[in-house]
Each structure stands twice: as structure tokens, then as C-alpha cells.
Amino acid sequence: MSAFLDALGGRLAERWLALLAIPGLMYLVSLGAAVTLGQSRWHDAGRLRARLDSLATAPGAHSAGALAVAAVAVLTGAALTGTVAQAAGALIEKVWLMAARGPLTRRLSERRLRRWGAADAEYRAALIAAGRARIAGTADAAVLTEQAEARYAFRNRISPVPPRHPFWTGDRITSPDRRVRRAYGLDLTLSWPHLWLLAPDTTRTELTTARTALSAAARLTAWGLAYVALSVWWWPAALVGAATVVTGVTRGRTAAASFAELAEALADLHGRDLAVALGVECEGRLTTTMGEEVTRLLSKPD
């Protein structure tokens, strides 16, 4: 038991350092440098060195007690800064996944739906033209097919399903539920805990990794916004912050797509196993009739 607690404490300490202390310490150092340099002397490294020399020669710098208090204060400030950034990351993740409820978010989702509808109409028109060309055996059939495929990819970049959320990430995360419902009649949200229990450890690990990556991307975006705020004192921080925000958003989109694909694959591979486990006769592939029966059983109607 003692060894287990020691190992657990070590992992918690590593996680604390990685998520809170080290990023927070870097931010406090950046804040101090930004305030010291200012806007007019943003590139004056000599001023920064002079400030560090003055701190090193201060009377308290040679006192062990003062150094200990300063170290504790810095670590506490770093931890608090990291905690605030982590909370901001959780809020950003919630915004990414939020549903359209208020007037602003409804307008955003409606705008995305109009874009998707226009792209879908162009794709279907191109698909019909390509089909007619193949039937007629015209020379441009291959070109029209490529155009239809390009329009299909463009539509899916907006959203793989008709948008209902103000942001791309929300629609991408929820798209497996709608696609699985359409393909199998299975409610993925309702069946998710049961599919999770049937999935092998490797599948769970992949899903957990993708979901954790989405949260990490949201935290990175929060740190980027925090560095953008430093531009009030030191304008180059805006460049660093903007690059960090772009990286965080890009990673978030990648993580959301990975999680959605894995969630849909889980239903594809183990949906039949779930039906069999619940006593639904399923000799071949999972059909919509079987999926609807599984959904009815899981909903536990009165």
C-alpha cells in the first residue's frame, strides 16, 4: 500500500508540474520580462540584464529565509496562474462544443447551415452531372467525377452532417451520433457506456487519448490568449500568443476529428456485439431494425 501511494504521489506531482507549475512559471517570467522591457524598448536585452543584476545584488538575495519565501511565493503564483489557465481551457472547450441556444450562437449555426446547404447543392449537382456523363460515356466523365469528389470533400470540411452547432468542433464531435443513428438506427449516446464496456483496452486507450488531446488543445489555446494579453506591456507577446492560439485551435480540430472517427468506428465494429449481448438476434451485419431494437432496450421504456 505504501509503494502504491508513493507511486500515485509521484504521478500527481509530475502532472502538477506539467499542467500547472512549469507553464505558470514560464508565464510569470514572461510577464516580468514584458513589464521590464515595455513597448518602447521591447528589444533592449541590456535593460533586462540590468534588472536581473539588481535583483541578484539586493540585500534579500543573500538571505536563505528570503529566498525560501520568494521561491514559495513564485511557485504558488505559478500554480495559481496554471489553475486559472486550466479553468479557462475548460471554458474554451465548453464553448467549442456548445449548442446553439442564444441569438448569437443561433446566427452562427444558421450561417454554417446555409454554407453547408450551398455546398451540398453544388456537390449533388456535380454528382448528377458526373453520373450522366458516365452513362453517356462522354470524355469528360472522369473530370466531372473528380469535381464531384472535390465538392464532397469541401462540404464535409464544413461539416459531415447538416450543422446544428455554432462551431465546427461541436458538429464534428456530435456527428457520429447522427450518422450511426441513420446507418443502424442505434442511439450512440445511449449505447456509449455499453459499447465502452465491450471495447478492448486498446480501443479505450485510443479514444481516451483523442479526448485528452482535445482538452489539451483547449488549454493551449487559453495559454495563447494569456500571452496575447501580455501585449499590453510588450507587443511581441501578441505574435507568440497568436501563434499559440492558432496551434491550439488546429490541434483541437484534429483531436475532435480523431475522436469522432474512433467513436463511429466503435459503433461499426462493436454494434453487432452489443445487439448479441442484449439478446437481439443478429446473425449478419447490424441492420436498422436491430439497432432500433437495441435502442429501445437501452432506453428501458415503462
Q: pLDDT tens for residues 222-246?
A: 999 999 998 888 888 899 999 999 9
- The predicted pLDDT at position 80 comes to 81
Q: Which long-range contacts (C-beta less than 8 Å, at least 24 apart) are formed by 36-44?
A: 37/233, 37/234, 38/233, 38/234, 39/233, 39/234, 39/235, 42/234, 42/235, 42/236
Domain positions in the chain: 103-166, 173-302
* Average per-residue pLDDT for the chain: 83
Mark residue 55 as left, alpha or beta (left: phi above 0; alpha: psi -120 to 50; beta: remaining). alpha
- The predicted pLDDT at position 8 comes to 34
The share of the chain scoring above pLDDT 90, in percent, equals 54
Mean pLDDT within 99-118: 92
pTM of the model: 0.82
Is the pLDDT reported for residue 107 higher than 70? yes
Is the pLDDT reported for residue 25 higher than 60? yes
Mean pLDDT within 254-271: 94
CA–CA separation, 271 vs 183, rounded Å? 11
